[in-house]
Structure 1
């Protein structure tokens, strides 16, 4: 699916008109039509769309992850926080290599699924440790 196809998917799912998209991101209605028909939008339009409609920019660009997930910074921070909590719970000093390994595994999971239950986090962490 093209970037414009993903624009269309978000717009239809939210019941938004093309004119509303155009107004929200500061482009013409014709540009929205062209993008939805397959013309690649410039980076500033992708960023504006992502911010205006709270859509994952990685999903918009490449179809990776979920449309509704948080920014990659948020996901990365959450993955490190979960890994740190797991590693530090015994009171021992946390090894940097272990934190990186667990944080990376969790980050990958969050990128693909958008969220993680406590039980799944525990399972991933125990497998990766």
Structure 2
């Protein structure tokens, strides 16, 4: 049984939807969806998901043993839920993983040592020379490669702007609303499919707090394992239109369940030659 199948089975045992698992695990529904569709494997999240579903983390992560928990309820108390994923794994291994070979134990620990939290996903750096005043916002660069997965970003993708300081008043004047300041990030557009709206190498401000369709607009999405910036519109209850603003590119119909939304595009900083 593959990981995606084990996750589906775990949800079935718990009688929980993806969104319910995500809420209890403290992660985004998109993360659960990507793992269940075989597009991602973030071991630190698997520990949280296993705890949320009440199954053995070793079984969910590695297929070792069975989903049933022997003498321990992994729908853990609040004291455990405040631990980092790596600490949860260490605690779990100390309690129920004594019979594991050292190689397997080390593999599991190594997989979660540097797991990013859902609040991360931006490139961190020295901002000492880039300071925002009281009426300004520092918007960091969104690390698309880390967030979207290996092989999903164009090979020639280069960031035009790494970090951006903007007056909050400018965003208000343009009618830009967002889920939170910490969710704002800047990326660089690529390709020609959105040409006229987002040109190749245009800086784009996105809201990473949006992980589901909330109405017509432009989103950063993954569809069938590939990364896109597309305008989304509802086709029917089960399908979306993936719209390219460049008329030379065809619009595409996509099943809602096949589209993972990573962020919503809020503002394009078009760089045009004078």
Contact 2:18–2:33 (8 Å) recurs in 1: yes
Alpha-carbon shift at residue 64 of structure 1 (Å): 1.6
Q: Which residue of 1 aligns with 2:59?
A: 59
Q: Which residue of 2 aligns with 1:23?
A: 23
Contact 1:18–1:32 (8 Å) recurs in 2: yes
Name the CA distance, whole Å, in 2 between partners of 1:13 and 1:27: 20
Q: Which consecutive aligned stretches of 4+ in structure 1 deviate over 4 angstroms post-superposition?
A: 71-77
1:7 is paired with a residue whose SS is helix
Contact 1:56–1:69 (8 Å) recurs in 2: yes
Name the CA distance, whole Å, in 2 between partners of 1:16 and 1:54: 11
Q: Which residue of 1 aligns with 2:108?
A: none
**Structure with a larger share of its residues in strand:** 2
Q: Which residue of 2 aligns with 1:33?
A: 33
Name the CA distance, whole Å, in 2 between partners of 1:35 and 1:8: 10
Judged with a 3 Å threshold, the aligned counterparts in structure 2 of structure 1 residues 24 and 62 are, in CA distance, closer, same or farther, namely same
Structure with higher Rg: it is 2
- Higher RCO, 1 or 2 (CA under 8 Å, sep at least 6)? 1
1:11 is paired with a residue whose SS is helix
Deviations 1:54-99 (A, max 9, x none): 321221122121101235544578xxxxxxxxxxxxxxxxxxxxxx
Q: Which residue of 2 aligns with 1:48?
A: 48
Name the CA distance, whole Å, in 1 between partners of 2:63 and 2:45: 16
Alignment of 1:1-129 (within 5 A): 1-70=1-70, 73-75=94-96
Contact 1:3–1:40 (8 Å) recurs in 2: no
1:47 is paired with a residue whose SS is helix
Judged with a 3 Å threshold, the aligned counterparts in structure 2 of structure 1 residues 73 and 15 are, in CA distance, closer, same or farther, namely same
CA RMSD, Structure 1 to Structure 2 (Å): 2.4
* Structure 2: gaps (5+ residues): 71-91, 101-274
Contact 1:25–1:49 (8 Å) recurs in 2: yes
So what's the TM-score if we normalise by structure 1? 0.50
**Structure with a larger share of its residues in helix:** 1
Judged with a 3 Å threshold, the aligned counterparts in structure 2 of structure 1 residues 41 and 24 are, in CA distance, closer, same or farther, namely farther
Alpha-carbon shift at residue 51 of structure 1 (Å): 2.2
So what's the TM-score if we normalise by structure 2? 0.26
Judged with a 3 Å threshold, the aligned counterparts in structure 2 of structure 1 residues 73 and 54 are, in CA distance, closer, same or farther, namely farther
